[in-house]
Amino acid sequence: MLTGWIGFDDTLRALDLLQQHMDRAPDPWGSLARRGVGRSRRAPEAAWPLTNVFEGKESFFVKAEVPGVAESAISVSVEDDALVIRGERKSEVPEGYKVHLRERAPVAFTRKLTLPARVDADAVSATLDRGVLTVTLPKSKESLPRQIAVKSS
């Protein structure tokens, strides 16, 4: 039985009061968390790294966001026509510091991306620039479109 129905207005008012209370916090870090604009975009650790895959006429291109990952901590390989990106992003709390906000957890990742066509594994190249990994995967000869001559009988 529904008693003490909380009207929609009351809920909003309660949230409003809570927000005001938080804003008035004397602790200077009270509302540190964020007054910034924009939606927060953090890849959940299980989905690291976020990738975009593009297809050109002769190659596939994979772009992955791997901020904080050193070249030595990432490996790119082609296994059974799939691109495998493995690596580790370290993220330590510096010794002796107090933590106010922690959104960058250490991540060990492995992502396997299967591509829609075979690639020439020997010709795959990768670059890492400012936390963005770009992998170029040339399509293998068999996957390139082949023109078939039409002969009139």
Residue with tokens 């297809």: 55
Please pick, from the candidates 12, 18, 47, 108, the single residue that binds other proteins as defined by CB under 8 A: 47
Please pick, from the candidates 10, 17, 19, 131, the single residue that binds other proteins as defined by CB under 8 A: 131
Residue with tokens 């009061």: 17
44 lies in the site for other proteins, by CB under 8 A: no
Q: By C-beta, is 4 or 36 nearer to other proteins?
A: 36
The enclosing H or E element of 12 equals helix 8-23
Query: Cβ contacts of residue 64 below 8 Å, gap of 6+?
Result: 49, 50, 51, 52, 85, 111, 132, 133, 135
Residue with tokens 């293998």: 140
Q: Interacting stretch for other proteins, rule CB under 8 A, among 12-20, 80-88, 93-101, 139-147?
A: 93-101
CB of 85 to other proteins, least distance (A): 13
Please pick, from the candidates 36, 80, 141, 150, the single residue that binds other proteins as defined by CB under 8 A: 36
Alpha carbon separation from 145 to 25, 54, 117, 141 (Å, rounded): 65, 17, 11, 9
Q: How far apart are the first and last CA of the chain?
A: 83
103 lies in the site for other proteins, by CB under 8 A: yes
26 lies in the site for other proteins, by CB under 8 A: no
Please pick, from the candidates 11, 12, 16, 31, the single residue that binds other proteins as defined by CB under 8 A: 31
Please pick, from the candidates 16, 18, 21, 56, the single residue that binds other proteins as defined by CB under 8 A: 56
